[in-house]
Amino acid sequence: MARKKFRPAWWAVIVVALLSALMIGLGVWQLQRGFAKQALLDRYQQASVQDAVPITAGHVARENEIERAYVRGRFDTARQLLLDNQSHDGVPGYHVWTPLVQDDGSTVIVDRGWISHDTAQLPDVLAAPDARVEIHGFWRTPPVPGMRLKTDNCAALPWPRTVEYPTLADLQCVYGQFVAPGILLMDPAESDGYVRDWQTAPELNPTKHYGYAGQWFAFTLTLLVIFIKMSFRVPTPQK
């Protein structure tokens, strides 16, 4: 019986090399996303024990940073935003973004939490305190999607307006005025608002990214095993 030899086809080598490089790259990318989410989660935990600082018009939220902060003023409930494509425990819904006008006239966007799509259609569900309030929470940059699609977040639609990951420029366009550069995630301890479990939110779960990375690496290993196994062939007899 002739002994099999490792004789891969040249085209198979190229295809397997390209696919392996792609899948390894995707696995590394998912690992990096997982590390970034874990770092952000750690910053939430660190911020939760810090003293709160006041948010002023010039207080810029820094990328990948979380600050314990507070604002004082009145909610502008007539011009609220509903951040679309947000889920909680698998249920689709919105995050309610309510502008708060501070005593100095500056506007700060407050994320009051998650509500379901159905709940958002009920009358008076978006009500907020009409008196002057002091709201504590976590100050950070607005959330960004994994892939940003072209969306007109500044369209003149009825209030409350549904938006998809608006930028700071979008927010200033929507309100026609300066908006403090960041967003305040309302503290879960505040009596007003909706579902707010910021430190366990899906967007902060690093485990799923590690799982995706493991899948890509497993696909790569499977491809290599199949390639090696199929590349061992019995040499063609010489005539």
- Which pLDDT value is given to residue 30? 94
- Which pLDDT value is given to residue 6? 78
Gap between the Cα atoms of 83 and 125, Å rounded: 15
pTM for the whole structure: 0.71
Mean pLDDT of 78-107: 89
- What region does 90 belong to: left with phi over 0, alpha with psi -120 to 50, or beta? left
Instruction: Kindly state the DSSP code that residue 49 receives in the 8-state scheme.
Output: T
pLDDT digits (tens, 9 = 90+) for 33-71: 888 888 877 877 777 777 888 888 777 777 778 888 999
pLDDT digits (tens, 9 = 90+) for 110-160: 999 999 887 766 656 778 888 899 999 999 888 876 655 566 667 777 888
DSSP 109-143: EEEEEEEEHHHHTSTTTT----S-EEEEEEEEPPP
Nearest to 179 by CA among 71, 94, 49: 71
- Runs of H (alpha helix) within 121-205: 168-175
Better-scored residue on pLDDT, 183 or 103:
183
The length of the chain is 239
Q: Where are the domains of the chain?
A: 55-203
